[in-house]
Structure 1
Amino acid sequence: MKRRAVLAAGATVAGSVMAGATLGATAGGDPGPRQPSPAAETTIETGALRPGTRRETPYFEVGSGDDGPTAVVVGGVHGNEVSGYRAAERIAEWQVTDGSVVVVPWANVVAVRRNEREGPDGDLNRQFSIGGEPETPLARSLWELVAAADPDVVVDLHRSRGIYGTHGRWVGQALFPTAAGDATSDADAVADRVNEAAVPASMWAHRFRRGNTLRGTSPMLIHKVSADLDTAGVLVELTEFYLDVDTQVRWTELIAERLLSRHGIERRGSAL
């Protein structure tokens, strides 16, 4: 299978785990990594970014067992954006009908454990130099995994304090597509679908919209996906403004589900 061959050759593979394996993540209601719990019949392959260092963090490949499209989903680039990495943890539990999803739930795991935006090396999402090598070992390791996956789509999950177009510089409730592929039309269609299916009419201020197109003008992960890979990608931003964390997580997961569906990766037991 193309995807598994690429990952085995190009990334640091730590083996594979079956449902119920212990990954050493924390449990309970506090911020911090939580162990994914895949369905009993699901096998997920796992590897690690920056193995043997304090920045070591696992990634998971959820596969259908059949050839098909590939997505990369990233959470925890900013360690205090809980809804992004909680949704990514849930995506690592999915079963998919075609292709595969490579999930990095806690990209900046030190920052996630500290519940802080930045890790020891600063803001991870400002370290992806366009047209060159990322600036830090962690950013380079994450980028190598993304490139090795040869993805059809990359989805980066974040959370903002306010609402895009309403609260100044804050960018919540918006989907920011790359210039590549059909990412712009995907963002429009998914925003409309989630608004219709999940956002109550009484919460009109929280309706999703498409943000500006990301063309490679900033050293951010999705900008680099756009410019250097010429690949469809979407930066997903939820808001914490009058929105509880459980709802943020649920809506983030729904958005990811619909984005991947538009690339031919269907979740079994879809929530929409």
Structure 2
Amino acid sequence: MRTKTTVRSDGKPNLIVTTSAIRAGTEQETTVYEIQSKQSGPTAFVIGGMHGNEESGYWAARDIREWEIDAGTLVVLPEANAQAVEQERRKWPKGMDLNRQFPIGKPPKNALAQGIWDVIGQHNPDVVMDLHSSKGILERENDEGVGQNVFRSSHEKIIRSNQTAIELLNDEYVTGYDPIYDFVHTFADETEYATAPMLMNKTRLDRNIPSCLFEVTQDGVESEKRARWTKAFVSSMLDTWGIRALRMNE
């Protein structure tokens, strides 16, 4: 993995912001942001842009990389597949779905996936959040989509934190919508995606990291609102882990 690293304070005396590059110098180059508080605490890893046609995830992650925190470390990879984001495509290069390149118990399938996996190993996060969107709604009968749902690991803390976050979303954000739009959370092992070679599965099974994959629906919800709901979810999750976001950009 080729990397380049810079460190800056951004005029924020209580934070150190470090940027590094995955696949530096290649067409797949993408930037990782590490926001470190001088107050000790846990490490959270937030990922957007696995799929370039799910803009609310990387829009949210771009804002999250600018957040100030009161403790711990927040690592943000806003555009995991920067080429797919640029092309606004789910699969890029043609036919390559980045979130199917992480087989359980085996090395990642390509250099970009390996670079992401190496960064996760470097930071050894306490929690991983992967931000997505879906065309449909998981709870709607005969719907092929999986939106308004959080796929999660079985760790007790992430069960509690997911429940707190979706209660916040349903009570304060998903208002004026049909009840079918209420968020739920599901244990990944009880779904058809249990062994899929997805990053969230690899982090929870190969590294035993509390992990979740957030899916907001694209059905009838504009991109800006989806991004706002996504950021609210991440903020609530961070708060549960003891990392409070300060000066959030709504």
Tell me whether the two structures share a fold, i.e. TM-score over 0.5: yes
| 2:88 pairs with one of 115, 126, 142 | 115
For 1:100-111, what aligned pairs fall within 5 Å after superposition? 100-111=73-84
CA distance in 2, matches of 1:191, 1:253: 12
Is it true that 1:124 corresponds to 2:124 in the alignment? no
Contact 1:49 1:59 (8 Å CA) reproduced: yes
Q: Give the direction of change, closer, same or farther, for the CA distance of 1:17–1:112 in structure 2 (3 Å limit).
A: farther
Instruction: Find the counterpart in structure 2 of residue 23 from structure 1.
Output: none
CA distance in 2, matches of 1:271, 1:213: 31
Deviation at 1:13, TM superposition (A): 3.9
CA distance in 1, matches of 2:156, 2:32: 25
Deviations 1:153-180 (A, max 9, x none): 0000001001112152211111111123
CA distance in 2, matches of 1:73, 1:242: 25
| 1:16 pairs with one of 2, 7, 10 | 7
3-state SS of paired residue (2:114): helix
Is it true that 1:190 corresponds to 2:165 in the alignment? yes
Deviations 1:100-140 (A, max 9, x none): 11100000000000000011160000010111110000000
CA distance in 2, matches of 1:11, 1:92: 22
Instruction: Find the counterpart in structure 2 of residue 223 from structure 1.
Output: 201
3-state SS of paired residue (2:7): strand
| 1:212 pairs with one of 187, 197, 218 | 187
| 1:146 pairs with one of 98, 120, 131 | 120
Contact 2:4 2:24 (8 Å CA) reproduced: no
Is it true that 1:164 corresponds to 2:138 in the alignment? yes
Instruction: Find the counterpart in structure 1 of residue 231 from structure 2.
Output: 253
Q: Give the direction of change, closer, same or farther, for the CA distance of 1:168–1:202 in structure 2 (3 Å limit).
A: closer
**Over aligned residue pairs, what C-alpha RMSD do you find?**
2.0
Q: TM-score, normalised by structure 2?
A: 0.91
Is it true that 1:264 corresponds to 2:242 in the alignment? yes
CA distance in 1, matches of 2:156, 2:208: 8
Q: Name which of structure 1's ranges 65-74 and 46-55 shifts more when overlaid on structure 2.
A: 65-74
Contact 2:108 2:114 (8 Å CA) reproduced: yes
Q: Percent identity?
A: 34
Is it true that 1:235 corresponds to 2:213 in the alignment? yes
Q: TM-score, normalised by structure 1?
A: 0.84
3-state SS of paired residue (2:86): helix
For 1:6-85, what aligned pairs fall within 5 Å after superposition? 12-17=3-8, 19=10, 40-41=11-12, 43-85=16-58
Structure 1 consecutive aligned stretches of length 4 or more whose deviation exceeds 6 Å: none
Instruction: Find the counterpart in structure 2 of residue 178 from structure 1.
Output: 153
CA distance in 2, matches of 1:173, 1:145: 28
CA distance in 1, matches of 2:228, 2:34: 21
Deviation at 1:142, TM superposition (A): 0.2
Deviation at 1:11, TM superposition (A): 8.3
CA distance in 1, matches of 2:249, 2:83: 32
CA distance in 1, matches of 2:8, 2:246: 20
Q: Which runs of 5+ in 1 are unaligned?
A: 1-9, 20-39
3-state SS of paired residue (1:262): helix
